[in-house]
Chain A
């Protein structure tokens, strides 16, 4: 059974860069049938897709975040990471990493437990 686990600072100052890592266990991130995703949930509960990465390094981002977001992958560590720059209080959210099945079918089937990131000075 695939498991995902987010890690990173829970508090980030405004204008700085939010950095999180997702460690995948129970399966290889290099399997070609999946995109590896970041999704956040605001305190008011809405979910927002941030972006995802293929094991080859191809990335796709939410157009509303283009320019501030970067997702990278380290296949040797079975990890992928999120960097979100120039953060404001509006970026305060629970950040989830998730696996997205692709091909003939598309859905997010495995999720990490989520990590709360607060943007505050």
Chain B
């Protein structure tokens, strides 16, 4: 059972914004700001979209943004596009050099 809880699915229409939440459910994880988000298309490897809660790697559109409030991190995708349809995973440093992933959220672009 993951220590990071994500909604199983979210959806939105092209041009709209969607937010995916990632809630820390274990005290082992809590408090670290090394939260990253990954996009995964079917049959492909995960791709880094956000790191350190809010930072965007070079090449990732600025439509993708990250935030954190309390024990919940969020990924917001604005101006939804068809190619954004994918699975999204949050990931957090859990201390003692260990890592934990969320269960994943399927984003459907209607």
Chain A interface residues (CB < 8 Å from chain B)? 35, 39, 45-49, 52, 60, 62-63, 96, 105-109, 111-114
Contact = CB atoms under 8 A, between A and B. Distances in A.
A32 B45 CA distance: 24
A105 to B, nearest CB: 5
Interface residues of B, number: 25
Nearest to B89: A47
Contacts of A49: 98-101
Contacts of B44: 113
A45 B98 contact: no
Tell which of A46, A49, A108, A113 has the most Cβ of chain B within 10 Å. Answer: A108
B98 A60 contact: yes
Contact of B2 (A35, A39, A46): A46
B87 interface: yes
A46 B52 contact: no
B64 interface: no
Contact of A45 (B34, B55, B57, B87): B87
B36 A107 contact: yes
Contacts of A63: 98
A69 to B, nearest CB: 13
A46 B46 contact: no
A63 B12 CA distance: 38
Looking at chain B's contact residues, the main secondary structure is strand
A47 B104 contact: yes
A109 B48 CA distance: 6
Contacts of B52: 105-107
A105 B51 contact: yes
Given A46-B104, A47-B46, A47-B89, A60 B36 contact: no
B91 interface: yes
Given A46-B2, A46-B101, A107-B52, A112 B45 contact: yes
A48 B34 contact: no
B30 interface: no
A29 B55 CA distance: 25
